[in-house]
């Protein structure tokens, strides 16, 4: 059984800030957002956690092993170095989506994301201990994306295909299992899952192929942290690439394509 | 009539690099990708151009007003500061998608994106002059996203709604008009369009609402650079917010909601 | 008695890299260096350690409380995100300069800083435990630098005065006590000291004033980490500013100006 | 005859900000300062200008070829992305120090660097045209710094030697010629000079050697921009390294060691 600690990172009152006193230059906003994400990725990454950019003004992190002091340190450091501040809500549940809902509610009950007086909320519960099966992470990519898409058609049409595969997968895994799936660039999608059997991944791959016609492959790993689970998933995905299989569970026998 | 200069930015041989000699830590890759994007956003932004992160390993830029020397300077600077290099293909056409296809082909004909010997390609044609109507940019967002979504449901489900609206819009505008639409964070989507009448935007908003049930509003601007067109679009969108209208063309009378 | 853990951070084979195949643009090198320093500052800072930019290609860090796994993680992350790699030598001693000499020797015995085959050395000893008196840090600044210099003369001449004060202080504290002093911007100098009595700081301030005619004030703190010692030093320096005293030891009675 | 355009970049009211409401973490300040410098280096660097970190809260830039619109764009972009803002004063003179004094006065007359109401000053005069001899830049380094220092003694003592050489050189060139010299990391010093003959550089090298016992070599270049002059200086310095000479003027016959 998984135990997922999820942190919602929300920029305080960001929307109004972007247009006050008048709209700010778009490339400055893009720079600010992506650097803020990069800084959070470094901070949590060195603690073996993951953060996903999601909508940039709201980011979702999987923070098993990161305690309240570290969350406070992150919040202070961002406040010291950016023109905006962040609120952090954290919660724990078996299913990722339930942890997120609970984490999210901790911010929502404090006020609106656009309430200028609701800043730097730090609210949450944190896991005291971790075990080797707390997290299950699946790393998907598109079979031969370079040969089939990148080198053949224009980048926007490639992107449309990747986006459609992502939309199909994120919706399926959310509805069927309460998993949270994130596009992480290129043709890569990382899903934070509850404890799912191999069949669930075979089904997901089939679902996407029949839904939008894009062929995925997936490596799955478990671990006590997002990095540990995600890293074994990456290695399992390498096995797919090498062996032509479509689903590989780290440590489990391969399933034929 | 629009004249759009599009640049495809492609990280050379990036996929293989991310797993050589073994998979690299995901948060390091996320940091690298988002900072690379931020640097390019600063570089082109100060020249009044726009770049969109798209898949991060491939980014699409609208570069009217940025000449070949500037493209060469960007390529050199990235090569000096990152462990990866970039190739740049640039082309000009009336419709954004045609410019991209042509820009993209300039890289594809030089070799595969994963050919380790095809690095730092710099190929393109650049506009010698600019005029005030070269670009048309539409800036969409979700009506009351904070009140309807962010403050009410969990962030992932909010994100699913925003993604669905984006997927619907990007596909519609691509197919109907050859426009390129990009999610830029929050609930914002920026579309680089050919010269479209008001009705095209009214139709797009209606299409998304009937397709996925998300209500959008949009400001539209024109200009000689992406910044100029995008900035007038932002101002027009502010008019939507203030007046409750769903489509505003900069300088044109408002269309009722 | 202090117990100082010092880490030497050395960019591998950096000099030759900066001119291969021909000299790289200076502003790209400056950007690379200062961002690398910033990343290391964030990494160690969140572990309550300090790093100083020193010569940028060689940086000196005070890393009490940072273990070998963290040093390895830093080295890997830099290697993943920069075109250069770093070597790290760490050692422990009562006097900061002795810890540095020992840390430095761990790299020197592995080969030259410009040996292209000597890369990513990770060698050191790390403190297993920390105590509240492990570190003593002094934070100096110039009395009324804005009123006397910044607002009066040109910035270069202000800088000459600050540099002269720094050169005088760094040399004095190095020779007299084996302390390591670093200019950290503005008019601020941070000295990592062995356990020194108040008189040593009074003498240092007098020495600089008689040597180069610049009036300093200093707050001194102790702690189990660089941040803890440095933070109490900052608070002590605030007392100097408020009370017009020239030396304040955290927790000790003030010394008259 | 040279024509040097110098810009003083000053963070507004920075000192008070760093301790309000209480002292901020030192590593956050270091990160902020060095990233701000890096961003300015990228901005001006792509316009063939140079900026030097100097005291970080005050930075000196050589901005021939960068007009008022570009200065305004830089100021706006920093204001959009940092928790602090910057003021910019620019002036032109034959001697670098005179240009700086004049640029500096433009800020000083507007109010104190610590006046909270004096923010985002943008004041200056900008060169309308550039010629090939506007700038003369000298690039110094220490002869065999790795063999004599880095690989032999501890880094702090190496740094003391480099600092002493820098202090001696900066003072000499400032007093003798009104040149501005900046340490740029490693063993490198860049001097922005008026039009000086070869003998001035021979004298400077001799002065430093007799004053502090450190042996320097120097390449000198001229150009219409800082990059152009600095780049030819770097190439000339490469000639020193290859030929064992101590002064090389780009395009001039070598002077014996």
Contact with chain B for residue D31, Cβ under 8 A: no
B88 to each of B45, B104, D63, how far by Cα in Å?
17, 9, 28
Mean pLDDT of chain B: 96
Contact with chain D for residue C23, Cβ under 8 A: yes
Q: Could you tell me if B208 and B168 are in contact, meaning their C-beta atoms sit under 8 angstroms apart?
A: yes
Residue B254 pLDDT greater than 90, yes or no = no
pLDDT of residue B252: 56
Distance from CA of B74 to the nearest CA of D (A): 8
DSSP state of B150: I
**Axis crossing angle, helix B68-81 with helix B26-45, rounded to the nearest 10:** 150
pLDDT of residue B250: 83
Distance from CA of C184 to the nearest CA of A (A): 17
Residue C255 pLDDT greater than 60, yes or no = no
ipTM: 0.96
Most C CBs within 10 A among B27, B31, B33, B81, hence the mutation to make, goes to B81
In percent, how much of chain C has pLDDT > 70? Answer: 97
What SS3 state is found at A44? helix
Q: B232-248: per-residue pLDDT in tens?
A: 999 999 999 999 999 99
What mean pLDDT comes out for the span B115-135? 95
Which architecture, in CATH terms, is A135-249? 2-Layer Sandwich (3.30)
Contact with chain B for residue A150, Cβ under 8 A: yes
Q: Could you tell me if B28 and A45 are in contact, meaning their C-beta atoms sit under 8 angstroms apart?
A: yes
Q: C7-62: per-residue pLDDT in tens?
A: 999 999 999 999 999 999 999 999 999 999 999 999 999 999 999 999 999 999 99
Which architecture, in CATH terms, is C4-124? 2-Layer Sandwich (3.30)
Residue C160 with chain D: CB contacts under 8 Å: 170-171, 174
What SS3 state is found at D182? strand
Contact with chain B for residue A225, Cβ under 8 A: no
Residue A42 with chain B: CB contacts under 8 Å: 27, 31
What SS3 state is found at A58? strand
Instruction: Inspect the interface and report whether the beta carbons of D31 and C45 lie closer than 8 Å.
Output: yes
Contact with chain D for residue B31, Cβ under 8 A: no
Contact with chain A for residue B160, Cβ under 8 A: yes
Q: Whole-angstrom Cα distance, residue A216 to residue A204?
A: 9
What mean pLDDT comes out for the span C172-176? 98
Q: Which residue of C has its CA nearest to B77?
A: C28
Residue B77 with chain C: CB contacts under 8 Å: 25, 28
Residue D255 pLDDT greater than 60, yes or no = no
Which stretches of chain A score pLDDT less than 50?
253-257
pLDDT of residue C252: 55
Distance from CA of B82 to the nearest CA of C (A): 5
What mean pLDDT comes out for the span B99-121? 96
Q: Which residue of C has its CA nearest to A69?
A: C46
pLDDT of residue B255: 45
What mean pLDDT comes out for the span D139-150? 97
Instruction: Inspect the interface and report whether the beta carbons of D77 and B43 lie closer than 8 Å.
Output: no
In percent, how much of chain B has pLDDT > 90? Answer: 97
- Residue D21 preceded by cis peptide, ω within 30: yes
pLDDT band for B231, please (50, 70, 90 cuts): very high
Q: D19-58: per-residue pLDDT in tens?
A: 999 999 999 999 999 999 999 999 999 999 999 999 999 9
pTM for the whole thing? Answer: 0.96
Q: B147-191: per-residue pLDDT in tens?
A: 999 999 999 999 999 999 999 999 999 999 999 999 999 999 999
What mean pLDDT comes out for the span C105-131? 96
Nearest to C83 among B35, B76, B83 (CB): B83
Judge whether C4-124 and C135-249 match in fold. yes
CA dihedral sign of residues B28, B33, B34, B39? positive
Q: D75-133: per-residue pLDDT in tens?
A: 999 999 999 999 999 999 999 999 999 999 999 999 999 999 999 999 999 999 999 99
What mean pLDDT comes out for the span B79-104? 98
Q: What is the DSSP string of D121-169?
A: -EEE---S---TTSEEEEEEEETTHIIIIITTS-HHHHHHHHHHHHHHH
What mean pLDDT comes out for the span B22-38? 97
Residue C108 with chain D: CB contacts under 8 Å: 151-152
Q: Could you tell me if A125 and A90 are in contact, meaning their C-beta atoms sit under 8 angstroms apart?
A: yes
Residue C250 pLDDT greater than 90, yes or no = no
Q: Could you tell me if D64 and D134 are in contact, meaning their C-beta atoms sit under 8 angstroms apart?
A: yes
Q: Whole-angstrom Cα distance, residue A198 to residue A247?
A: 8
Residue D29 with chain A: CB contacts under 8 Å: 80
What mean pLDDT comes out for the span C98-127? 96
* Residue A158, number of CB atoms within 10 A of its CB: 23
Q: Which residue of A has its CA nearest to B38?
A: A31
Residue C253 pLDDT greater than 80, yes or no = no
CA dihedral sign of residues A239, A136, A61, A188? positive
pLDDT of residue C224: 97
Distance from CA of D221 to the nearest CA of C (A): 14
Q: Could you tell me if D130 and D65 are in contact, meaning their C-beta atoms sit under 8 angstroms apart?
A: yes
Q: What is the DSSP string of chain C?
A: ---EEEEEEEETTHHHHHTSSSPPPHHHHHHHHHHHHHHHHHHHHTTT-EEE-TTSSEEEEE-TT--HHHHHHHHHHHHHHSSS-EEEEEEEESSHHHHHHHHHHHHHTT--TT-TT--S-EEE---S---TTSEEEEEEEETTHIIIIITTS-HHHHHHHHHHHHHHHHHHHHHHH--EEEE-STTEEEEEESS--HHHHHHHHHHHHHHH---EEEEEEEESSHHHHHHHHHHHHHHHHHHT-SEEETTSPPBP-
Contact with chain C for residue A46, Cβ under 8 A: yes
The residue extents of the domains of chain B are: 4-124, 135-249
If phi > 0 it is left, if psi is from -120 to 50 it is alpha, else beta; for residue B130 that is beta
What mean pLDDT comes out for the span D133-147? 97
What mean pLDDT comes out for the span B62-87? 98
Contact with chain B for residue A242, Cβ under 8 A: no
Most B CBs within 10 A among A4, A12, A27, hence the mutation to make, goes to A27
pLDDT of residue B87: 98
Mean pLDDT of chain D: 96
Residue B135 pLDDT greater than 60, yes or no = yes
CA atoms within 13 A on the CB side of B253: 1
Contacts of D250 (CB under 8 A, 6+ apart): D219, D220, D221, D222, D232, D233, D235, D236
pLDDT band for D206, please (50, 70, 90 cuts): very high
Contacts of A25 (CB under 8 A, 6+ apart): B45, B227, B231, D76, D77, D80
DSSP state of B255: B
């Amino acid at each position: 059984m998984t135990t997922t600690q999820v942190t919602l990172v929300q920029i305080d009152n960001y929307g109004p800030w972007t247009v006050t006193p008048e709209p700010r230059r778009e490339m400055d906003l893009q720079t600010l957002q992506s650097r803020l994400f990069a800084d959070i990725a470094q901070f949590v990454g060195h603690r073996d956690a993951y953060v996903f950019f999601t909508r940039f003004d709201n980011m979702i992190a999987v923070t098993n092993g990161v305690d309240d002091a570290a969350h406070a340190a992150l919040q202070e450091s961002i406040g010291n170095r950016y023109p905006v501040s962040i609120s952090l809500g954290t919660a724990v549940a078996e299913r990722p989506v339930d942890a997120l809902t609970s984490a999210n509610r901790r911010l929502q009950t404090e006020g609106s994301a656009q309430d200028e007086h609701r800043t730097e909320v730090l609210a949450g519960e944190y896991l005291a201990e971790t075990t080797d099966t707390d997290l299950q992470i699946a790393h998907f990519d598109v079979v031969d994306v370079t040969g089939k898409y990148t080198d053949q058609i224009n980048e926007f049409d490639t992107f449309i295909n990747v986006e459609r595969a992502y939309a199909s997968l994120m919706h399926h895994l959310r509805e069927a299992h309460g998993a949270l799936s994130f596009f992480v660039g290129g043709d890569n999608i990382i899903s934070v899952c509850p404890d799912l059997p191999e069949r669930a991944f075979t089904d997901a791959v089939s679902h996407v192929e029949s839904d939008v016609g894009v062929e995925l492959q997936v490596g799955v790993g478990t671990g006590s942290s997002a990095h540990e689970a995600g890293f074994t998933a990456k290695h399992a995905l390498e096995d797919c690439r090498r062996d032509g299989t479509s689903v590989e569970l780290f440590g489990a026998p391969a399933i034929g394509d």
